[in-house]
Chain A
Amino acid sequence: MDTTNKMDVKRPELIQGNMSFEQLTDVVCKPVEDKAPKMWFILMAGFSSLICLLLAMIGYLVWDGVGVWGLNQPVGWGFAIVNFVFWVGIGHAGTLISAILFLFRQNWRTSINRFAEAMTIFAVICALIFPGIHVGRIWLAYYMFPIPNSMAMWPNFSSPLLWDVFAVSTYFTVSLLFWYVGLIPDLATLRDRSKTKVKRIVYGLFALGWRGANRHWQNYERAYLILAAIATPLVLSVHSIVSFDFAVSQLPGWHTTIFPPYFVAGAIFSGFAMVLTLLIIAREIFGMKNIVTIRHLENMNKFILATGTMVGYAYAMEFFIAWYSGNPYESFAFVNRAFGPYWWAYWIMVSCNVISPQFFWFKKLRTSIPVMFVISIFVNIGMWFERFVITVTSLHRDFLPSSWGYYSPTYVDVLTFVGSFGLFFTLFLLFLKYLPMIAIAEVKMILPEANPHHHGDEH
């Protein structure tokens, strides 16, 4: 992962195929400028009908109330929270790649940052649906915001649920701004290359009059650096605060201090897995193999291995502390997790999240496309189950055995979750069709031609 510019060490170029600036622009702009393939329309039809399903399920929920979900006493938090944490977690890779790796001058990020940031934004949109609809009376969702009203009602600032509102909305705003600022030079490229008037006006509108002037680049780079600095703490803070939703409560299984780092590691883990799943498909279909090389994918697999191992450590540490604390309720909560009625969910989680990334210790496996694709899918599944395990298993065994219960989702729960994937992929397909999926301007900066010492031959 050491990609610092050491002139004396010869490393393979990040961008393969000896592309010139122009060729690179051509390759990245091709999917945007060509007519959309038939497959695009088929997928679009499929995923947008899933959006209809999502809207129908939300409509039914609003009409009938949260009773259409499988919630009960004592399991008052179910799919809505699980899905929220799942989607927010996925959103973490984008900011990590765009902000933290930018500050650490990890040049390989340029090939994947646009893609990951887009995924972040769409994932956070999906995430925001769930807390919005789980309040029951969604027309009163504005109670979550400090807005003057005739009820003298003010949000409870000592509640982590409110911190969540601010954490996630800040995260969304900053991610969107970051993504958009990075897009401006590329939007100008698309504007200048567009053949129809409508396209020129639309891309021109969003390119904000970018001419590539020296002054423009100076301002751009400064803005990008500032946004990266703002976004960096957010990578850590957002999922920490999401974990507070659980950790601040007094429930065995939730009330643990390891939650914030554990959640952040899990979020980056799941985010990278989702980027990987999508990127493997996209680079294949759109012929971006020279820009998103095996080396990029391998770097991401190393992230998955590292964060997956951290998550595994957290699982183990939770058990250790449950035993070491000598607290019988804590011990029960964790033994029950692994061997209680939800044992199947727990072991799905462990095998997907702890065992599957360990294959990436082997270079042969972490550079194999089929292997990493399968593992990335496993990680996606495992991280959804992690949230399910945390939320449901901690609730279903209340302090009094008389209040014990079992939670099963209804078809409305399941179809709402499926529908959220429809929203996610529809937004993604729109992104692939209308915006450059690789940050053209940024990738050009790491091409050999961009190096001031480059004269087209070796020195």
Chain B
Amino acid sequence: MSNKNIFPKWSNVIPGFVAAGLGLIGISVIFVFWYWFSPKHLEVGYQPHQPIPYSHKLHAGELGMDCRYCHFTVEKATHASIPPTEVCMNCHTTIKTDSPHIKKLTESYETGKPIEWVKVHQLPDYAYFDHSRHVNSGIGCASCHGRVDKMEEVRQVEPLSMSWCLECHRNVEDFVRPKDKIAEMDYHSENQQVEGEFLKSLYKLAPREDCTTCHR
């Protein structure tokens, strides 16, 4: 056996680097998944183009229409209903009928072929969500959908992730508002803490956190 070493002296530091490197890789992988692969990064800001450039900013903002005029099932059903062409035609049989976009509406109205609106807020199939349950408990539209009255085209502003849902289910007093102010876009309470606690007991709110509440 020769006296020569197989590895140079500096190789003594390698195990330390390997150990530190493996630790760093592990932490980085978890961080990448937790941070960049979360709905906060992947979902927020989703803003698909709609077949007709319907402006929520104009209708809900400047004209001040109530959300529930078009999304009229929101208080009664699980879904908040994308309005059928008939709802649009309540006004647009007479308003701006020359616009090429309104002509598409008229065509849809006459042929009975619906406009193919693109869904913006998508929950996974395994998550059960009921709009009426929330709206009738004093959770406002803007709490989840943001200031739609300021959006030309609607985009998703909240992650709709499970932790985001739980944030409200665990601290409902921070978000609850009077039931008659559900559709108010610019609702703001001067003293949410006190009012929230009051409304929570008034409405007897006790949001559940069991698995089966949402995963049925």
Contacts and interface: CB of A to CB of B under 8 A. Distances in A.
B63 interface: no
A191 interface: yes
B13 to A, nearest CB: 12
A191 B34 contact: no
Interface string A169-207: 000000000000000000000011000000011001100
A177 to B, nearest CB: 13
B7 A151 contact: no
B91 interface: no
Nearest to A200: B6
Interface in B20-37: 30, 33-34, 37
B7 A192 contact: no
Interface residues of A, number: 15
A149 interface: yes
Contacts of B167: 152
Nearest to B15: A208
A205 B162 CA distance: 47
A9 interface: no
A201 B162 contact: no
A281 interface: no
Contacts of A204: 6-7
A151 B161 contact: yes
Nearest to B11: A209
Given A192-B1, A201-B6, A208-B15, A151 B162 contact: yes
Interface in B34-88: 34, 37-40
A151 B161 CA distance: 6
A150 interface: yes
Given A201-B6, A208-B15, A209-B7, A150 B166 contact: no
Given A200-B6, A208-B15, A152 B33 contact: no
A150 B6 contact: no
Contacts of A152: 162-163, 166-167
Nearest to A191: B6
B53 to A, nearest CB: 32
Nearest to B5: A209
Contacts of B37: 150
A149 B33 CA distance: 8
Contacts of A192: 1
A209 B1 contact: no
Interface in A138-181: 147-153
A191 B6 CA distance: 10
A107 B12 CA distance: 34
Nearest to B170: A152
Nearest to A197: B6
B30 A148 contact: yes
Contacts of B161: 150-151
A152 B39 CA distance: 12
A439 B62 CA distance: 84
Nearest to A208: B15
B7 A150 contact: no
Contacts of A200: 6
A209 B11 CA distance: 10
Most B C-beta atoms less than 10 A away, residue of A150, A152, A201, A209:
A150
Interface in B160-180: 161-163, 166-167
Contacts of A147: 30, 33-34
B34 A149 contact: yes
B163 A209 contact: no
B34 A150 contact: yes
B6 to A, nearest CB: 4
Given A200-B6, A201-B6, A209-B12, A150 B159 contact: yes
A152 B38 CA distance: 11
A148 B6 contact: no
Nearest to A192: B1
A64 to B, nearest CB: 19
Contacts of B12: 209
A299 B176 CA distance: 72
Contacts of B15: 208
A153 B6 CA distance: 49
Given A147-B33, A204-B6, A209-B7, 15 more contacts: A147-B34, A148-B34, A149-B34, A149-B163, A150-B37, A150-B159, A151-B162, A152-B162, A152-B163, A153-B162, A191-B6, A200-B6, A201-B6, A204-B7, A209-B12
Q: Which 3 A-B pairs have the closest CB atoms?
A: A152-B163, A150-B38, A151-B162
